[in-house]
Each structure stands twice: as structure tokens, then as C-alpha cells.
Amino acid sequence: MNDSTVQNFLTLFSCCKVVKGYNRSTILDLQTQKIYIIPNSLGEFINKCKNSPYEEVLNCYNKEDKKTIKSYIDYLTNNNFCFFTETPDKFPDISTEWDHPSKITNAIIDISSHVHDFLYLNKQLSKLGCYSVEIRVFNKHDFSVYEKIIAGFNNSRIKQIILHIPYQVNLASSEIFDPLFFNQRLKAIYVHSLTKNIAEYSKNSVIYKHEKLIDASCCGKISRNNFLANIDFYTESINHNNCLNRKISIDADGNIKNCPAMKASFGYYKKYDFNDIISTDKFQSNWDTTKDKISACADCEFRYSCLNCQIITSDKNNMYSKPKHCGYDPYTSTWR
Ligand code: SF4
């Protein structure tokens, strides 16, 4: 082929995804799991380059804009987001489908004064192939209670357990938790409600925090620090509600729910086989409420990297309103 007929296409690596917001866009690098904020004009330029050779796209811009495009190319190449190729068809997009072999991927179990039967819960959750369990203890208990909870998962299909417990003076040293970590499913312990005169700290997967966790409504806080950019979270967010999808919860009273903060209950946990409950349309009714259906979030550049809490919402009568605990305004790109 004559050189003059070669058409070079600027192509984004398939692990890099542009998410357009109202004011600006993000590039999610699903391989390095980093999030980059870019102007919408760069996002538009990338999109144009998908369908037309680079030179052709460049010719659409005037002399002044071409300087900006040059800086965009430098930015994209310096960050390893893109490459030039004569054969873009050989680099198809990665699939955005999402699926998981487990009927339930994650569970939340809340505890106040009464402690549930964790042997029973482990059996039910293991049957569903549940991958991850978060146990949130609101009230103070003897250390032996925490040992009993974790021992309930000694034989289990569950891969990961996160435990939240309230601070007590006798729990001030992280070493006290060492026996619990013999169960290697336990990945982290968050000690909440730390007294203000002690600074937050973490050691050996024990994280001491001031934040209070007193009931199921203490949830759904949207923070930049919790944003995720990985293929699993991205594809689940595109197709489903990334918080409620394939989740089961047991609230502090022992009621089966999709999320513990929901009103809708599906009965006392010991009376039912969980598989019968989670297979119903009613239980799954919120699993597909993606951020694209939520006001404000639909225009937000973080919508596929941000947790989708649709239970604690800014308008409590409208589950399609923005999460109550989000301080970001996608129309001004500011955090409050
Ligand atoms: S506006 Fe919606 S998508 Fe954006 S950060 Fe807030 S909750 Fe997340």
C-alpha cells in the first residue's frame, strides 16, 4: 500500500472507557483501576476518532483548536490511553455484559441487641454461592459474641467477611482481634464510633473510625474515596443497580430484605429458604435501577464508578431521586 493511502486511526485501549457527564467526562482505566477527569471536548474528540481516520478528524478543527487537539494527543499517549493503528477493527470493544455464577454475590447482616444464628445464616448464604458478607454490629457486645459470629463461618463457601463493630475501651488495641483473623475469610474489621479524643488509625486490617454506625440508615455515603474503576463494577453498574443487585440483607430484627434500610420485608430469616425468596420478581424489583435512571446521576461522569444507593434518597418518596448522602453536583462539578 502506498504511504499516502494509509489511514491511521487513533484508538483507545479497550480497557479505557469514556463516561460523559453534563459538564465534564471521565476516563475509567479498568486495568490500572484509576479514574481521570477530562473535558467533554476531549471525550467528543475520542468518540469522533472511533469512526474516522485521525487526519480526517483533525481537519474538522481550525488552527487554534488543532493546538488543543495536539495537547489532547500528548495527554492520551502519555497516560497510555490510546495508540495509532491502521486496523482498528482488530481491536474490538470489550463486552459490557455482566454476570456472576452466584445467585447472590453479597449480603449485609445487621445486629443490634439480639445476635442472629450465624450457623444458619452461613448455611443459607453458602447455598446461594454468596461471595461477600458484611456484618454491621450497632450495639456493644462481649468480645465472645464476635468470636461466635466469625466461628459461624468456619465451614463456608463465603470468600470474604467484613465486620463493623462499635468501639469499646477494651478493643483499643488491634491485637485483640488476632484470634478472629485465624478465619482467613475475615478481611477487615471496622471499629466505628471511636471517641473523638482518639485519632483515627488502622493497623493489621483493623480500621478505627469516628463515624457512627447506629442503625441501617447510616449508609449510602457517597465519597470520592470509595469510587471504583474495575471491569466488574463498571459492567454491573451499566446493567444493574450496583448496590442492590444480587444482594440479600438481614436487618437487626431478623427480617429478610434486599437492603436493610428498605421498608419491604420478606419475612423472618429462620422461616424461609433464602433461595425461594430471592428468586421472586418482587425481591429483584430494584436490581436493574441503574444510575442512568436516576435524576442528576444520569448526567454525572462518576455514574459507573459510584455506589448506587436508591433507598436513602434526597426525596424519600421518589426512589429515582439522587442519593441523599451525595454532596456532588454534576452540573457545576463541585462537592459540598
Ligand atoms: S451525582 Fe450520583 S453518580 Fe454522581 S457522585 Fe453523586 S451519587 Fe454518584
Atom 2 in ligand 1: residue holding the nearest Cα: 297
Q: Kindly calculate the radius of gyration of the chain based on its CA atoms and give it in whole angstroms.
A: 24
**What pLDDT was estimated at residue 319?**
86
Residue 276: all three cell numbers together: 425461594
Residues 222 and 76 in one domain: no
Q: Which of 144, 135, 197, 150 is nearest to 172 (CA)?
A: 197
| Residue 300, ligand 1, Cβ within 6 A | yes
Q: Which of 181, 213, 185 is nearest to 110 (CA)?
A: 213
| Residue 302, ligand 1, Cβ within 6 A | yes
Final residue belonging to a domain, choices 58, 90, 122: 90
Beta bridge partners of 137: 111
> Could you tell me if residue 298 is inside a domain?
no
Q: Which of 260, 169, 172 is nearest to 213 (CA)?
A: 260
Beta strands, E only, the chain: 9-12, 16-20, 24-29, 34-39, 82-85, 106-111, 132-137, 160-166, 186-192, 201-203, 206-208, 247-250, 256-257, 328-329, 334-335
**What pLDDT was estimated at residue 5?**
60
Write the pLDDT tens digit of every residue in 221-272: 899 999 999 999 999 999 999 999 999 999 999 999 999 999 999 999 999 9
**What pLDDT was estimated at residue 29?**
98
Task: Give the Cα separation of 50 and 28 in Å (integer).
Answer: 17
- Positive or negative, the CA dihedral 277, 280, 285, 286 is positive
> Could you tell me if residue 310 is inside a domain?
no
Q: Could you count the other beta carbons within 10 Å of the beta carbon of residue 20?
A: 17
Residues 47 and 168 in one domain: no
Q: How far is the CA of 279 from the centre of ligand 1 (A)?
A: 29
CB 125 within 8 A of CB 268: no
Domain, as residue range, for 40: 7-90
Which regions of the chain are under pLDDT 70? 1-6
> Could you tell me if residue 259 is inside a domain?
yes
Residue 165: all three cell numbers together: 463493630
Task: Give the Cα separation of 308 and 222 in Å (integer).
Answer: 9
Residues 160 and 191 in one domain: yes
The pTM of the full predicted model, rounded to 2 decimals, is: 0.92
**What pLDDT was estimated at residue 1?**
39
Final residue belonging to a domain, choices 90, 122, 139: 90
> Could you tell me if residue 96 is inside a domain?
no
Instruction: Choose the residue to mutate in 224, 326, 334 for probing ligand 1, maximizing ligand atoms within 8 Å of C-beta.
Output: 326
Final residue belonging to a domain, choices 44, 60, 90: 90
Residues 278 and 160 in one domain: yes
> Could you tell me if residue 300 is inside a domain?
no
Q: How far is the CA of 44 from the centre of ligand 1 (A)?
A: 22
Q: How far is the CA of 100 from the centre of ligand 1 (A)?
A: 25
Residues 152 and 234 in one domain: yes
Q: Which of 31, 82, 26, 24 is nearest to 57 (CA)?
A: 82
Residues 52 and 133 in one domain: no
Q: How far is the CA of 308 from the centre of ligand 1 (A)?
A: 8
| Ligand 1 closest atom vs CA 330 | 1
Q: How far is the CA of 322 from the centre of ligand 1 (A)?
A: 7
Residues 82 and 119 in one domain: no
- What total of structural domains would you count in the chain? 2
Q: How far is the CA of 302 from the centre of ligand 1 (A)?
A: 6
Burial of 227 from C-beta contacts in 10 A (0-12 / 13-18 / 19+): middle
> Could you tell me if residue 309 is inside a domain?
no
| Ligand 1 closest atom vs CA 307 | 8
Atom 1 in ligand 1: residue holding the nearest Cα: 297
Instruction: Choose the residue to mutate in 228, 297, 309 for probing ligand 1, maximizing ligand atoms within 8 Å of C-beta.
Output: 297
Residues 223 and 130 in one domain: yes
> Could you tell me if residue 11 is inside a domain?
yes
> Could you tell me if residue 33 is inside a domain?
yes
Q: How far is the CA of 229 from the centre of ligand 1 (A)?
A: 14
Residues 25 and 164 in one domain: no
Q: How far is the CA of 222 from the centre of ligand 1 (A)?
A: 7
Residues 83 and 121 in one domain: no
Residues 156 and 23 in one domain: no
The CATH number for 46's domain is 3.90.930
Q: Output the CA angle 161-163-164, nearest 5 degrees.
A: 155
Residues 29 and 144 in one domain: no
| Residue 304, ligand 1, Cβ within 6 A | no
Task: Give the Cα separation of 285 and 245 in Å (integer).
Answer: 9
Write the pLDDT tens digit of every residue in 274-285: 999 999 999 999
